Structure formats: C-alpha cells, structure tokens
A and B are shown apart, each in its own frame.
Chain A
C-alpha cells in the first residue's frame, strides 16, 4: 500500500488535495447549494423559510413590480439596483485609491536596502495585529466633529487667523471610502511588492545601456513586470470590499447602505432569509463576472499565490 503510494504521483496528489477538497465541499459547496434553494423560497410572517419554487425574490431585487401605486401594469423601483450600483462604484473607487497609494510605497520598499526591507514590511503588517472592527472605530475618533483631524486643522487655522467650522466627515460616504482604503491597503502593498522585488536588477542596467531614461524604464520595464502584483492585489481588494458591511455600518452611521448591509439586514432586522439569499447570490454572480473579465484582460496574477 505504502509502496504503491510512494510510486504513484497521482495518488499522492489526490491525498494531498483531499483535506482542502473536503473543506471546500462542506463549507463552500453545500452552503452555496442551500443558499440557492432558500433563495427560491418564500418567508412566513414569522421569518421561517417556506420551501417552494418562486422567482419572487429575484424579481423584487430587479425592481420590477406589477403592484404599482398609480394603477400601471408594470413599474420599476431602482432601490436594490441602486444599492448594487453604489457598492460597485465604491469597490472601484476603493481599488483605484488603494493602487495609487500602494504602488509608490511598494516600489519604495522593493528598492530599499535588503536589511531595511523586512523592517518596512513588518511595519505594513503591524496594523493587522489589531482587530478589523477596532481599527474602524479608531477612524471614528479621528473623523468626528471634535475629533483629532478637526482639532489639528482648527489649531492651524487659528494660527493663520482663518475662521474655521469643523468639517462634517464622520457618517458620510467619504468616511466609508477612507475606512475601506485604509483597511485594504496592506492587501495591495504585499502582492505589488512581491512582483517588484522579483525584477532582476540586470534588466534596469540593460534598459539604461540601451538608452532608456528613468521614465521610459519605469513604463517599459517596471510597470509591465509588476502588473501581476497589481492584478492580484485588485482581486484581493475588490472582492471583499463588495461584500463588507462593518465599515459602512460604523463610519456611515448605518445611513450608507451597501449590498453587504442589505444582505446582513435581511438575515437580522428583516427576518427574510429568502431575499437575503437571493441578494447574496446576485452579489456573488456580479463579482464573478467582474473578476472574470478583469482576469481575462490582465491574466490571473501569479502573485495571488505568493500573497
């Protein structure tokens, strides 16, 4: 038996993949199937699931309705489509700002002296030692009307004799964006760093030998070779931002409703697991579509493995 295992490469492979396969099956595939079944169900007044087959939840999500106020036969309520659109645009914006901030920093770390590199990477990781939710609450302290940022600006303005009314920053969509960018920054820095660090120094020398200036070297050598890191980072940032609800709950004052909040509320406040399941599946499908087109254009990003 053992002898056979030692000789058979495929048996080894099967054995090594077994734990993960079981894990994924039990904790991903089965729950997904259950979600799908529930999403075709109906709710009872008390919030139990009545198992049947109806597309009502999906139709409600699309906003299409035949029960219209003005006696029309059909009308369209953009509520849920609007929430999805808002989440999507927030995810795009977050990813954009994260790349803009992460790239220069990753570049700086990758070009630093090897002895200092580990130190810098360590500093990038330190915030992750603190719980995600606590870090969001910390932003509350910074952004509120009498918070640190307003106090500092007020102090500077006072020195310059410019009248200053505290900025309204907390409980706005901007606060949610800031919180998201902050939370997901490390997940972009690390993959970009990994691809930048791998670039062979001789490539820069070759570029210089062939007469490329700094800008040209960056555009023709560094940027293309670091794209896998950017792609991997984008996947690691975009997908979680689409579904996160904690940041918008805390920094948006439960007034900025994203699709994550919508889903969470169906399971808690509204006691409608069937509609929540339908919304979860639609979110997943949308995310898959975006990721699919993105990776088809840019490749999957080998750094996702390294990250």
Chain B
C-alpha cells in the first residue's frame, strides 16, 4: 500500500468513526423517548413505574453529588427515561470530601447527600437551602422514626435517603476468637489483619466508647485519652478504606475490622463466613440525607427526583441492590407485596434489619461545633504518626 492510499484509508476511518459517534449520541439522548407511548424499560429490562404525581419539569439536567456505590442503576435510568432529564452524577467517599468541595463554592450541584453529623455545620455555613414541603407530596412515605431528627428538626433542610450502622465485620473462617466488643479489636492477635473505614468521627467515636465516654464528647481530657488509645490501634490496622471495604475482605487481604451495613451485606452474600457483629458497647448509627446546596439551579428537576425516588415502587430497588436500612415504609410494603424474595433477604438479615437491642444500644454521631478541630487533629496526628 502506498502512502496516498494509507491516508485515504485513514480519512475514511476517521469519518466513519465520527458518523458512528454521532449516531450513538442521538440514540442515547433520553429526551427523545419521553413522548413515545407505552412503558419505559431500562437496559436491564426493568419496567419503569410512572411518576406519581408527575411533576411539571422544564429543566433538562440534574446534577447530583452523592456517595459511591449507593444507587441502583435502574432507579437512575428510570428517572432519566420517565422525565427525559439528563442525570449527572459525581461521587465522594467521605463527608469531609463533599464538604470541602461544596464549601469551596463554584460547584453547580443540585443535590448532595450529607450524613447526620455534618448537616449542622453545613447549615451554619449557609451552604444549604430550605426545602419546600409543598412540593413534596410523597413525603408521607417515610417512616416517622427517621424524620424530625435532632440534626434537622422539622426536616427544614433534609430528607432521609438510607441509614445503617458501623459495626464489626469478621471472617469467621479465618479468625479464631470472634470479637464481641469494640475493645476486642485492640487485641494483638488481630494486628495487621484489620480494615477500618477512613472515617474520623466513627473511628474516634468507637475509641471513646471503649473508654466508656460519649461518642460526641467535647471534653479535651477525654479526647486526649482517646487519642492515646487510638494510637495503639492504628499500627494494627492494615488498611483504611471507605470506597469499597468489602473488596479487601472478600479478596482475603484482611480478616476483620469495622465497616458499614451495605458493604457487610454484600461481603456476607459473597462469602457467608463474613459476619457482622454488633459490639457490646453498641454500634455507630447513621443516616444519610438529601439536601439542596445553595446555588442549585434545577429546582423543578430536584423535586421531581425527590418525589420519584420516594415512591415505593421505585425506592424498593435500593433494597434489591444496595442493602442498607430503609427509611421508606412504602418501599418496604411494596417489596413485601411484590418482591417477597428481596424483602425476605432484607428483613431476615440482622445486617440490614438490626435487632432492636442493637439499635437501642447504638450511638448517633452529632455535630460537635467548636470541638471539631480537636477531632480533626487527633485523626491527622494519630494516622500520621507511625
């Protein structure tokens, strides 16, 4: 082949690839499907429920900033299909990461997913907008036990998404003596075999619990004691991971540690030897929430999303795909009636459906206001000092 032919061939290839990309872009645009009749079906064959009620929406985009591995693909796809809105999703793996990005300003997110304890700080910093309850007809779907929490009385700023616990996770096949308390994790036999969440408040919190203190203490002397105690534990921890702690557990890189509900549930399904143990001092309880940051621009799409995902026939997908404790009673009822297998797996698992005494014994992390720097410094100094 001479040079001229080669260039000709290259040219044809370039044009062909451009044509193909253009076609791909066209067919992927969800907007074209909204007018067509009949039920909308996702790529996995899931038939999307109609929105009820259908909200008036003119926006074509919604930008959400959410936790990693937390959303059923069908739920995301269905929202795009039924409303013809392009959903843009960015992810984070710690509240601090999310907070840094939102407080830096200039981001254009419509919805974020702060956990309980960071909400007070976000409200104080005027980073959140008040919710318009008149635009939330489906708000009654939530179990009242998850509403009106101390971090946001009257749900002025937030709505629940999912909740869960931080507790002990252990591979019973490789660990001889199963730990039953947070304090047990300090035992030398577990050194170098543990995974912990990279979550300052939870890890310092459980350390405080082993000393008999409150997880939200602001007493500098108690925190100083916790720092010394935590410094003994940190060298024994092999890895801190909040992105996907189940991976190291399933792969056998670590044998035990602390993680949260959903990761433990999936690890347990992959390997039934991996068990979730509620410590005698009590697990850490938490709740993730929706909130609208200041500067959000697609208000109509925000409320369309909130109402649509609050529907029982939509939100049950989280019970199927991301097994955390579910605050939406309509979703639980829907699953119970229509998806008995999914419901049974959820309701029968002590991981997703924690026993009442574990919940009663649990500890919620709260905003500590002026004591925040004490927690921050402990975390940086303890983790940096090996």
Contact = CB atoms under 8 A, between A and B. Distances in A.
B379 A43 contact: no
Per DSSP, are chain B's interface residues mostly helix, strand or loop, or mixed? helix
A267 interface: yes
Nearest to A272: B376
Contact of A80 (B94, B372, B384): B384
B252 A46 contact: no
A171 interface: yes
Contacts of B373: 43, 45, 272
B253 A171 contact: yes
A253 B237 CA distance: 9
A268 B100 contact: yes
A135 interface: no
Interface residues of A, number: 29
Interface stretch (A4-12, A113-121, A223-231, A254-262): A254-262
A171 B239 contact: yes
Contact of B251 (A47, A145, A254): A145
A70 interface: no
Per DSSP, are chain A's interface residues mostly helix, strand or loop, or mixed? loop
A270 B96 CA distance: 8
B296 interface: no
Interface in A33-50: 43, 45-48
Contact of B238 (A80, A253, A262, A271): A253
Contact of A269 (B96, B241, B248): B96
B379 A269 contact: yes
Contact of B372 (A45, A145, A146, A147): A45
A146 B251 contact: yes
Interface residues of B, number: 36
A302 B183 CA distance: 59
B381 to A, nearest CB: 6
B59 interface: no
A207 interface: no
Interface string A133-158: 00000000000111100000000000
Given A254-B240, A254-B241, A269-B380, A47 B103 contact: yes
Contacts of A43: 373
A208 interface: no
A209 to B, nearest CB: 41
A170 interface: yes
A145 B252 CA distance: 7
Given A46-B121, A146-B251, A83 B384 contact: yes
B24 interface: no
B380 A255 contact: no
B70 interface: no
B252 A262 contact: no
Nearest to B235: A255
Interface in A249-306: 253-255, 257, 262, 265-272
Nearest to B369: A45
Contacts of A145: 251-253
A253 B386 CA distance: 14
A48 B383 CA distance: 23
A79 interface: yes
Interface string B267-293: 000000000000000000000000000
A60 to B, nearest CB: 9
B255 to A, nearest CB: 10
A183 B177 CA distance: 41
A254 B121 contact: no
B132 interface: no
Interface string B226-263: 00000000100111110000001001110000000000
Contacts of A253: 238-241
Given A80-B384, A145-B251, A170-B253, A270 B239 contact: no
Contacts of B99: 271
Given A45-B369, A47-B372, A269 B239 contact: no
A266 B200 CA distance: 13
A46 B124 contact: yes
Given A45-B373, A271-B99, A266 B380 contact: yes
Interface-centre pick from B251, B376, B383 (highest chain A CB count, 10 A): B376
A46 B384 contact: no
A257 B385 CA distance: 8
B350 to A, nearest CB: 28
Interface in B96-111: 96-97, 99-100, 103
Contacts of B198: 254
Contacts of A262: 380, 384
Interface in B332-385: 369-373, 376-377, 379-381, 383-385
B125 interface: yes
A207 to B, nearest CB: 40
B365 to A, nearest CB: 15
B151 to A, nearest CB: 15
A47 B103 CA distance: 10
Given A45-B373, A262-B384, A268 B240 contact: no
A79 B379 CA distance: 13
Given A79-B384, A269-B96, A271-B99, A255 B238 contact: yes
Contact of B370 (A45, A168, A267, A270): A45
B120 to A, nearest CB: 10
B383 A257 contact: yes
A159 B380 CA distance: 47
A144 B237 CA distance: 16
23 contacts: A45-B372, A45-B373, A46-B121, A46-B124, A46-B125, A79-B381, A79-B384, A145-B252, A146-B251, A146-B253, A253-B238, A253-B241, A255-B240, A267-B100, A268-B97, A268-B100, A269-B94, A269-B200, A269-B376, A270-B376, A270-B377, A271-B96, A272-B373
Q: 3 closest Cβ contacts across the A-B interface?
A: A253-B239, A254-B240, A270-B376
Interface of B: 94, 96-97, 99-100, 103, 121, 124-125, 192, 198, 200, 234, 237-241, 248, 251-253, 369-373, 376-377, 379-381, 383-386
Given A46-B125, A255-B234, A255-B239, 5 more contacts: A45-B372, A46-B124, A83-B384, A168-B192, A270-B376
